Structure 1
């Protein structure tokens, strides 16, 4: 069976603890090498993960003809620049979310990607590929909750480390960019459409200047979804999808465990059914789908156009934070 030869730009924790081990279980991924700005760090990570190659610079990895595709878990402000360099080096790209710092960056990446139609570029929203989310969308698609009315999401953790990149505002830190992007993506994924406008209330950290609590309403043409995210709250996550005739609740919507089944609940009227979905590593699923798209020359599940659309919502939320009113999901201001 053919496999895609993968390289990883950075020894970031998300890569070494979750993504690489997940992709190493894939039937279609060959995890060949990892790069760091320090060869010593790269070699240590490669040895620990059983990867044959280590590189002392990102450029060295991109120059290696034995690497077909790269996974980019760099800080947010480095996503687009290195994704573009990877594309120009002839590599397929799987890039962590959010795709960039703003819509302009995301659109620039889209233009570069479209100018290289032989290469696949995908945003790493891994949750979408887990069986629990495929089941949730199937229930909604088949009318299992009647007409969808609202989606309510919550996602939080506590992090007050001043040295953590997620607390660096200039590098795209803060809760909305880091975890608020998930509830936004969920609403678009489940409703299979794009919102018209948003309104948000945002609290910022006095020291870091990052958003630490944000509550947002997203209007899909009269159908409202809501979410709260926070970086100085007790760790918690939940998603509730409500309709005229039922609802779906996911127990662990975003950090699905790779070693046991996931549970979701489907309510129709007064009857609640507990549904157990198969054990799956969502990073393995993601690696499988991206690699299959490369091998078969088919579309990736989460293209850059989807990443641009998600970023448009994020940008509208930041505009609403400043204006205190509804903002259109575009560069045109909403009316009230």
Structure 2
């Protein structure tokens, strides 16, 4: 038996990522769909024979007793609404990142999730499941005491992207616009390895009017562990090379990973230097078939729903709250001229 999924929001990402993932899944069957514009839902449903039902209203999605999971891909400001409907009708739900349009919404979702442990309420943040995270964590003890990091993700503006044409992105109700929409991907990886961020000192800029808000972030961060480092994110530049890398440095070496699309996926571990006579070596560790699609996150979700064990779900509301809270603190810091700003708790 597979689980019936109702897909809410039948736009670009639902079409190119979520639907193909469900079509391959051993856990899920695309059963039904809904879009505010019904004709768009009909076009979407025609892509998959197992989709046998198209709803006339959002409420109908959650009322359907045959639905095991609602997969919501909506403008961020509506996440809180679908979570409340899921609780009302006792439905498991997964919804797209960022968790909410602002910290008030995000905090309310965390509280709802805690109050209803009988339901699975998960955030579709697939970068939480990257193989690079456990790979980095498995070798980090070899570089001694960790003191600093550099996390860098920049790219040229993609005028051809269909995402920039969506109205809710051009006129964002979610804080930081593209910084929270795309930045949480990067923060999922950073915090997945080094833990939570305590404070930030940040500066932001807006390059593209199409972004609807600031779209470049340069920041200094202090982790809860005391580790310090830089976090840079922006995909709105002119002609430049795409660059995505993460380096962690300690008193006995460093570890580096380049996640730029098209580059070899591997860790470069450099050990030594704690003392003058400490053994030194360099080791490359391949990362085979990195989880760049949504397949792994839904595999974990499927395992959870069928077994009843939610322990492998990484992208919980609490985790997703922290990612958005870092963006929130960065925006506040930038408005205050780069003032050190504490990252809020749920």
- 1:275 aligns with 286
Provide the secondary structure at the position in 2 that maps to 1:100.
Answer: coil
Q: What is the rounded CA distance, in whole Å, between the counterparts of 1:287 and 1:117 in structure 2? A: 19
| Counterparts in 2 of 1:195 and 1:173: CA distance versus 1, 3 Å | closer
Deviation string 1:58-110 (CA, Å, 9 cap, x unpaired) is 22222211111111211121222222222322211111111002221111112
Query: What is the 5 A alignment of 1:20-39?
Result: 20-39=19-38
User: Aligned residue for 1:116?
Assistant: 116
- Say which SS state the counterpart of residue 149 (structure 2) adopts: strand
SS in 1 for 2:197: coil
Shift of the 163–240 alpha-carbon distance from structure 1 to 2, 3 Å rule, reads: closer
Q: CA deviation at 1:274?
A: 4.6
Structure 1 alignment gaps of length 5 or more: 332-336
1:186 to 186, 189, 194: 189
Aligned to 2:256: 248
* 1:224 paired residue among 225, 228, 232: 228
- What is the CA distance between 1:265 and its match in structure 2? 2.5
Q: Give structure 1 regions of 4+ aligned residues with deviation exceeding 6 angstroms.
A: none
Do 1:175 and 1:229's aligned partners in 2 also have CA atoms closer than 8 Å?
A: no
Cα pair distance change 1:294/1:212, threshold 3 Å: same
* Cα distance in 2 between the residues matched to 1:194 and 1:279: 23
Is the CA contact 1:68–1:92 (under 8 Å) kept in the aligned structure 2?
Answer: yes
Conserved 8 A contact 2:130-2:290:
no
Q: Deviations over 1:254-291 (max 9, x none)?
A: x7x9xxx9712322245241514136564111111112
Q: 1:20 and 1:206 mapped to 2: Cα distance?
A: 31
Equivalence for 1:334: none
Task: Give the conservation status (yes or no) of the 8 Å contact 2:218–2:233.
Answer: yes
3-state SS of paired residue (1:277)? coil
User: Aligned-pair distance for 1:39?
Assistant: 2.4
C-alpha distance in 2, partners of 1:217/1:50?
50
Query: Alignment partner of 2:46: what SS?
Result: helix
Question: Compared with structure 1, are the counterparts of its residues 294 and 236 closer, same or farther at alpha carbon in structure 2 (3 Å cutoff)?
Answer: same
Q: What's 1:70 paired with?
A: 70
Q: Which residue of 2 aligns with 1:318?
A: 331
Task: Tell me, in whole angstroms, the C-alpha distance in 2 between the residues paired with 1:328 and 1:280.
Answer: 32
Please say if residues 77 and 171 of structure 1, whose CA atoms lie closer than 8 Å, have aligned partners that are also in contact: yes
Contact 1:167 1:173 in 2 (8 A): no
| Superposed displacement of residue 132, structure 1 | 3.6
Residues 1:134 and 2:147 are matched in the alignment? no
Offset, 1:316: 0.9
Hey, what does 2:268 align to over in structure 1?
266
Residue among 285, 288, 295 paired with 1:284? 295
Query: Which residue of the other structure, out of 301, 307, 315, is the alignment partner of 2:314?
Result: 301
CA contact (8 A) 1:202 1:213 kept: yes
Structure 2 vs 1, CA of residues 287 and 231 (structure 1 numbering), >3 Å: closer, same or farther? Answer: same
The corresponding residue for 1:201 is 203
Matched, 1:18 2:32: no
How far did residue 320 of structure 1 move? 0.4
- Alignment root-mean-square deviation, CA: 2.6
How many residue pairs were aligned?
A: 321
Contact 2:201 2:220 in 1 (8 A): yes
Answer yes or no: is 1:176 the counterpart of 2:174.
no
**SS state of the match for residue 317, structure 1?**
helix
1:52 is displaced (CA, Å) by: 1.8
